[in-house]
Amino acid sequence: MKIALHFKILISLALAFSIGLFVNFETSELKQKPSWFFYFLEACQFVGTLFLNALKMVVIPLIITSIICGVAKIGAESNFKKLGLKTFGFYGLSGILAVTVGLLCVNIFEPGIVNPEIREKMLSSYNAFDQEKLGSAMQRADGGWANLIEIFHRMVPTNLFKAAVEGQLLGLIFFSLLFGFFVSRLPDKLKISQTTFWESLNAVILSLTNFIISFAPYGIFGLVTPTLMTVGLDTLWVMGGFALTVLTGLFIHCLIILPVMLRFLGGINPIYHLKAMAPAMLTAFSTASSSATLPLTMKCVTQRVGVSRKVGSFTLPLGATMNMDGTALFECVVVVFLAQLFGIEMSWAIQFSVVVMALLTSIGVAGIPSASLVAIIVILQAVGFPEETIGIGVGIVYVVDRFLDMTRTAVNVFGDSCAAAVIGKSEGEKEYYPEVLDEGIIT
Ligand code: ASP
């Protein structure tokens, strides 16, 4: 019997949750962990890292070849500009809705207004944080607004190869968009040789991507189990109010706002869409990286949803780096939460500037784990948090960041897929979910 990929991934996640949490509970009592704990941890990490490396290995060639092929095809069409405008319009709208949901949740639940005992516990949970990591994040963020502008400078890289080596996807995307556009303007004879070359390269990368994706169930088990084995369950409890506020906001955005947009802007069935995107969302949850998930997002959107490669290869790489609804929502909640915790006055005007900065920084934030912490430092500096509270605040949030990062990354990926589907529909694409229509199931 052939089991569908998303079921295999679900089974692997269920196993990872049961084993990871069980081991965590069992060994948390022991001061010194038994040696089998470390062997098992390392074995899982070995498998997980191999899978993550393989995904990252194909991201750069996949982005370059997909964008060039996609734009070379549509660049010459008159509606190219319209497609770009629609894409950024959707990203803007869904981003604004996401931060609004975040702001409402944090103002209603007020997770930072806690009794002194819990506040003490929260502040002491900060000691569990890796000081070195905080130091380097603070250094990277130093300079507030200047740093924000630097993020946008990187969009136009001086050295393409350096950008690729450093994983600066925004620069590569910008170059590939221009390259594809000028391929589309070549005289026919030259255009044919260029498009044949890039399309065949793209086909090879896609086959390679499919091959890597077939290992997802093992890779995901290897990634998630060690996280759950080592996550600090007690700190999670202390930070419960904050974590729940973020999760509530993310669920509202993912299960209400985006489905409503799908239904009303694209006439798309949100349940089918969620089902079709399940493998990509589960991978985003496991890797906490929208960039590393991009190969799966592209596969799900084009093969399971049925959006054309033309639209998918234009919108998805852009979305993976620029459209981060979950991240923007998270950034807003964190800033207001910390203000509540430290008793810093946050007028609606300041909250509005937080919204603008959250939207801007979520464009520049890389699609990698914990990337938004640097953006949060930038925002805290810009709205005038005292220096000492910034260090402590980020330290507190970092303690529970991993689990929230996994969830917001899944929302980021879902947002990208909704944009691709709605824009595809607006470009006149016909039936989505061919498997549903043909066989009554999504395989
Ligand atoms: N991990 C997120 C992503 O890859 C970015 C972040 O919010 O830290 O989409």
Tens-digit pLDDT profile for residues 186-244:
998 898 999 999 999 989 998 898 899 889 899 989 988 888 887 766 666 778 889 99
Q: In this predicted model, what pLDDT tens digit does every residue of 283-296 receive, in sequence order?
A: 999 999 998 999 99
Per-residue pLDDT band at 128 (split at 50, 70, 90): low
Ligand 1 contacts CB of residue 320 (under 6 A) = no
For residue 184, the CA-to-ligand 1 centroid distance in Å is 33
Per-residue pLDDT band at 66 (split at 50, 70, 90): confident
pLDDT exceeds 50 at position 10: yes
Q: What is the pLDDT of residue 131?
A: 61
Q: In this predicted model, what pLDDT tens digit does every residue of 99-127 receive, in sequence order?
A: 999 999 999 999 888 778 777 777 776 65
**Poorest-confidence range of 28-42, 194-208, 259-273, 306-320?**
28-42
Tokens 């196993």 — which residue? 15
Q: What is the pLDDT of residue 440?
A: 47
5-9, 50-54, 134-138, 367-371: range with highest mean pLDDT: 50-54
pLDDT higher for 51 or 143? 51
Q: What is the pLDDT of residue 388?
A: 79
Tokens 């594809």 — which residue? 180
Q: In this predicted model, what pLDDT tens digit does every residue of 301-353 receive, in sequence order?
A: 998 999 988 889 889 988 988 899 999 999 999 999 999 988 888 888 888 88
SS3 letters for the chain? CCCCHHHHHHHHHHHHHHHHHHHHHHHHCCCCCCHHHHHHHHHHHHHHHHHHHHHHHHHHHHHHHHHHHHHHHHCCCCCHHHHHHHHHHHHHHHHHHHHHHHHHHHHHHCCCCCCHHHHHHHHHHHHHCCHHHHHHHHHHHCCCHHHHHHHHHCCCCCCHHHHHHCCCHHHHHHHHHHHHHHHHCCCHHHHHHHHHHHHHHHHHHHHHHHHHHCCHHHHHHHHHHHHHHHCCHHHHHHCHHHHHHHHHHHHHHHHHHHHHHHHHHHCCCHHHHHHHHHHHHHHHHHHCCHHHHHHHHHHHHHHHHCCCHHHHHHHHHHHHHHCCHHHHHHHHHHHHHHHHHHCCCCCHHHHHHHHHHHHHHHHHCCCCCCCHHHHHHHHHHHCCCCHHHHHHHHHHHHHCHHHHHHHHHHHHHHHHHHHHHHHHHHCCCCCCCHHHHHHCCCC
Split into its structural domains, the chain has a count of: 1
Closest by CA to 368, choosing from 13, 9, 56, is 56
Contact 413, 297 (CB under 8 A): yes
- Residue 154 has phi, psi (to 5 degrees) of -65, -15
Closest by CA to 185, choosing from 111, 98, 77, 83, is 77
CA count, 13 A, side-chain hemisphere, 58:
27
Ligand 1 contacts CB of residue 324 (under 6 A) = yes
C-alpha triplet 4, 5, 8: angle, nearest 5°:
90
Q: What is the pLDDT of residue 438?
A: 53
pTM: 0.85
> In CATH, what number is assigned to the domain containing residue 131?
1.10.3860.10
Q: What is the pLDDT of residue 114?
A: 79
Per-residue pLDDT band at 268 (split at 50, 70, 90): very high
For residue 213, the CA-to-ligand 1 centroid distance in Å is 20
pLDDT exceeds 50 at position 424: yes
Other beta carbons within 10 angstroms of residue 135's beta carbon come to: 11
Assigned token pair, 338: 């910390």
Q: What is the pLDDT of residue 335?
A: 94
Per-residue pLDDT band at 418 (split at 50, 70, 90): very high
Ligand 1 contacts CB of residue 205 (under 6 A) = no
Q: What is the pLDDT of residue 140?
A: 57
The residue whose C-alpha atom lies closest to atom 3 belonging to ligand 1 is 367
Say which amino acid occupies 47: V
Q: How far apart are CA 9 and CA 214, in angstroms?
A: 10
pLDDT exceeds 60 at position 54: yes
**Poorest-confidence range of 6-15, 140-149, 276-285?**
140-149
**Poorest-confidence range of 85-99, 113-127, 136-150, 237-251?**
136-150
Percent of the chain clearing pLDDT 70 (strictly above): 89
Assigned token pair, 401: 């960041």
Work out the average pLDDT over 57-70.
88
Closest by CA to 201, choosing from 65, 9, 3, is 65
Which of 297, 324, 401 should be mutated for ligand 1, with most atoms under 8 A from CB? 324
pLDDT exceeds 50 at position 84: yes
Q: What is the pLDDT of residue 20?
A: 85
Work out the average pLDDT over 413-430.
92
Q: What is the pLDDT of residue 146?
A: 56
For residue 435, the CA-to-ligand 1 centroid distance in Å is 31
Closest by CA to 367, choosing from 309, 283, 307, 299, is 283
Per-residue pLDDT band at 282 (split at 50, 70, 90): very high
Task: Tell me the residue range of the domain where 130 lies.
Answer: 5-439
Assigned token pair, 197: 């070359």
Ligand 1 contacts CB of residue 235 (under 6 A) = no
Q: What is the pLDDT of residue 271?
A: 93
Which of 290, 359, 361, 402 should be mutated for ligand 1, with most atoms under 8 A from CB? 290
**Count of residues in the chain:** 443
Tokens 């990203």 — which residue? 91
Q: What is the pLDDT of residue 132?
A: 63
pLDDT exceeds 70 at position 141: no
Q: For all residues of the chain together, what is the average pLDDT? A: 85
Q: How far apart are CA 102 and CA 324, in angstroms?
A: 13
Q: How far apart are the first and last CA of the chain?
A: 13
